[in-house]
Chains A and B, each alone.
Chain A
Amino acid sequence: MGYPHPTHPKETPVLSRHFGDSDARSFDGWKRRGGYASLEKALGMSREQVTEEVKTSGLRGRGGAGFPCGLKWTFMPKQRTQPHYLCVNADESEPGTFKDREIMRWTPHAVIEGAAIAAYAIQAEQTYVYIRGEFTEAIAIMQQALDEAYIKGVLGINAMGKGVRIDMTIHRGAGAYICGEETALMNSIEGKRGNPRIRPPFPAASGLFGCPTTINNVETLAAVPPIIEQGGAWYRAICLSNPNSTGTKLFSVCGTVRSPGTYEVAMGFPLKDLVHDLAGGMRPGRRLKAVIPGGSSVPILTADEAEATLLDYEGCVARGTMLGSGGVIVMDDSVDMVYQIMRLARFYAHESCAQCTQCREGTAWTTKILQRILHGQGKLEDLDLLLDLSEQMTGTTICVLSDSCAAPVVSGIRKFRDEFEAYIDSGRAVAQV
């Protein structure tokens, strides 16, 4: 036995190789598994060398946007004239996504080590680990690991005995999805309402407390120690398809599969293998109907599209969707698409920060129309209205929350229009809305 599921032969365990091994959570256990060797190595290198190694690896942001990690670090000022900050985005709230939680639960020191290397590379005075408030277990484990790291001298005034100061603290979120958006996250740490900020200025110029700031996802930073240890070229070689998407990626598979869970595969892995082999495929007698490949914010794929999708940044874009956070939501033919899309829209309506007009009013209105259709009181014009609202909610706001609400609505109506029309034509209502 091992971690909830034994490692599948098609997996490429890099970050997940110690999942299920509770001894790896402790400092000593982590050291025995080769932990903190990368940090020691990195502190012996120049900052530029560290950044260059990460650039070589081709590591891209695992939070959803896929921005090259090393390039992001180079945006920080070379000379430190005011404090620099690193924020670790552990506010994993995207529906269908639970990969960062697993990293923090099983390998908290991997996050601390990766963050410490990044903090060294960008000369961060302080690192904030912003963890979703609901992750009580992950917070407790991370806090214990952080305390140990300070006691053992990994962090602090004289980190690893190398004369470098690296400080890190955990900041607990208070339950807002939008605080996972990097500028809202910074506002939240500052004690303000978690509203996204207008860019420019970008965080590397004026971020947390108005100082240069880099925000990296948990999974991105957890991938840094192996890159330093084994070299950027090694990481770059882990690639099944497009050379611009390198390394491994954790995918959290949920929905109507037999073995939901978090799986780590190389970039470019076929989505159909992830769903049918690793996650165990559909329940008996059920057929695949739709997949949302990258967390709730990305366009929905039909079964046919999903079968042909390769899981990397370019492969998803080629199918009209996005890799996003790697939260794979699988739906079989028992699933009511209209209801599922309404649930997503309702989530976004609930989580809209209320700044931008289109998002504040549009997400709620979209939800109301979808609920009306589910009540059997929809009209055919409602579908055009939904598409029209979605168009105005896309690309017109400060952040992409309203775009995220529009994406499943638009793709849902385009690809599963018959299900919407069935509700409208029959006047049938679902049991619970």
Chain B
Amino acid sequence: MSDLVRLTIEGRPVEAPAGTSVLEAAKLAGVLVPHYCYHPSLPVAGVCRMCLVEVEKSPKLAASCATPVAEGMVVHVESPQAKAARRAVLEFLLINHPLDCPICDQAGECELQDYVYQEGRATTRFADYAKRFNPVEDFGPDILYVPNRCILCTRCVRFMEHLAEHPVLNVSERGDRAYIGIFEGAALDHGWAGNVVDLCPVGSLVSKDFLHKARAWDLDKTPSICPGCTQGCNVTIETRDNQVLRVRPRPNPDLNRHFMCDYGRLGYGWLNRTDRIEAPLVRDGSRLVPVDWDRALGRALDLVRGARGPCVALVSPGASCEALERVAQLVGAGGGAGAFRVAKGDEIPLPGVPDLALRTERAPNVAGALAAGFTRDWDGAAARARSAALVLVLDEPLHGLGAAQAWGPMIYIGTVLPDEARGAAAVVLPSATMAEEDGTFRNIGGRIQPYHQARAAPGMARPAAWILEEILDALGVGVGAQA
């Protein structure tokens, strides 16, 4: 641990490691210094001048983001001088701002709006002049730039230059004509470019995907884990009326800092699928008939008890650790085994953050599946499934195996019913997606991370871990039964 420096901020004594900025030290003291251009995951720019604070014995106000702590320093954030400076910055920022909050996506989570309400002027002194106007620009696949709202904090420029190391943005022009420019022929199409929308403290960079979809204050926010790949970025799932409308990164300094990739960010559509299995189904001749949970579980138990010989499990590496462990327990009891397969894609790193990338394996719980004892021998398991005493499928779409495959008796636990299973499954048990249950994923580094329920599951669908627990209980080998 480096040396601790003692200082006083707003009358509160605080200790911070040498080299800490006054702004970060103030956070430790429980004081938020208002700021725009500063961001803990970006290099310091010191340009918005919003974080000016009064430091005793210093002739001028100091930018707290760019001023390191010093022993015995006495800092005032709410002094008349510091407040006057912030008020002036807010006034300067607003003179050319369109004040179009009623149609701005950022309203409700806008730092300009918040601080102006908190301590800005009620009226303008910028009378009788036209405001600067520039038309909206299309910056890339998912990003629009609204220059009129821009406060030129340069967070987006610094992210693209120093974190994505794909410098396509710049500050163009000078003086009050300045705006964020994009290089000729370039686009914000980097795999992590979507983060500039989150970084923008105002509504200047907006997501086309989320454009005019919802007001920020109508969204319910649930801490979760991105299911897009094995990286396990911490995210917040934002829902309204039981629909997932947006997924945004949730800060985790040890893992994804403040970022997530566009693949994960924009890949939430499947969570809103409407072709879900809504009731348990049991086979009646050539048909699958909806039944209640007791009858469906009863049929499943009959199949498990009647199995003579090893079972085969085909599982999804997108299932929770809890569900995977229970499947392993169930098939393992009879000497069976299981395997999984995982979709692959190119690895897209975020160069500015060590060990952060969109990983090649595009499922959240590959490490969890391996830890539970499942193997990557998919072809072997699929072949054994032909002669298995029982095939247990956990949310695996079975694509490529063909409907004509001669399966052993099949219990299908899943969110949607693929054609491959429709003709083969003896029992279909509807399960919840990761957005509809509590659970954990184990990421590429072995970190076990919890996620929480963000929306209600459709119909009678239940978390897969609950379904499997019911079966294990009835068999007398479940956690509940042992208790």
A residues bordering B, Cβ < 8 Å?
A: 176, 193, 198, 349-358, 360-365, 368, 372, 377, 385, 389, 392, 395-398
Contacts and interface: CB of A to CB of B under 8 A. Distances in A.
Given A372-B128, A395-B60, A360 B170 contact: no
Given A360-B152, A396-B61, A365 B174 contact: no
A358 B63 CA distance: 13
B92 A385 contact: no
11 contacts: A198-B46, A198-B63, A349-B175, A349-B176, A354-B176, A355-B154, A360-B175, A365-B176, A395-B59, A396-B52, A396-B85
Contact of A357 (B50, B126, B129): B50
Contact of A354 (B44, B45, B89, B175): B175
Contacts of A354: 152, 171, 173-178
Contact of B44 (A198, A353, A364): A198
A34 B95 CA distance: 60
Contacts of B171: 193, 354
A392 B174 contact: no
A68 to B, nearest CB: 20
Contacts of A397: 49
A353 B85 CA distance: 20
Interface in B430-470: none
Contacts of B174: 176, 350-354
Given A198-B44, A198-B46, A396-B49, A358 B175 contact: no
A60 B387 CA distance: 94
Nearest to A398: B46
Interface of A, helix, strand, loop or mixed by DSSP: helix
A336 B129 CA distance: 24
A350 B50 CA distance: 23
B203 to A, nearest CB: 18
B85 A357 contact: no
A395 B170 CA distance: 27
B27 to A, nearest CB: 20
A225 to B, nearest CB: 37
Nearest to B130: A368
Interface in B88-129: 88-89, 92-93, 95-96, 125-126, 128-129
A99 to B, nearest CB: 26
B49 A198 contact: no
Nearest to B50: A357
A361 B176 contact: yes
B307 interface: no
B48 interface: yes
B66 interface: yes
B151 interface: yes
Contact of A385 (B48, B59, B125, B173): B125
A358 B176 contact: no
B73 interface: no
B470 to A, nearest CB: 61
Nearest to A197: B46
Given A353-B174, A361-B95, 10 more contacts: A176-B174, A349-B175, A351-B175, A354-B171, A355-B47, A357-B152, A358-B88, A362-B92, A365-B176, A392-B85
A357 B48 contact: yes
B49 A357 contact: yes
Contact of B61 (A353, A356, A361, A395): A395
Nearest to B88: A392
A352 B85 CA distance: 19
B61 A392 contact: no
Contacts of A365: 92, 95, 126, 176
Contacts of B129: 368
Given A350-B175, A392-B84, A398 B52 contact: no
Contacts of A368: 129
B65 to A, nearest CB: 9
Contact of A364 (B46, B49, B63, B176): B176
A315 to B, nearest CB: 23
A372 B89 CA distance: 23
Most B CB within 10 A of own CB, among A176, A357, A364 = A357
Nearest to B125: A385
Contacts of B125: 385
A148 B154 CA distance: 45
Contacts of B93: 357, 361
A385 B85 CA distance: 15
Contacts of B50: 357
B96 A193 contact: no
The 7 closest A-B pairs by CB, nearest first: A354-B178, A392-B88, A364-B176, A361-B92, A352-B175, A355-B47, A395-B60
A272 to B, nearest CB: 33
Contact of B89 (A176, A350, A355, A357): A357
Contacts of A392: 84-85, 88, 92
Contacts of A385: 125
Interface in B46-82: 46-50, 52, 59-61, 63, 66
Contacts of A395: 59-61
A273 B151 CA distance: 49
B47 A398 contact: yes
Given A361-B95, A361-B96, A372-B128, A198 B175 contact: no
Contact of B60 (A193, A352, A396): A396
Given A360-B178, A385-B125, A193 B88 contact: no
Contacts of A363: 175-176
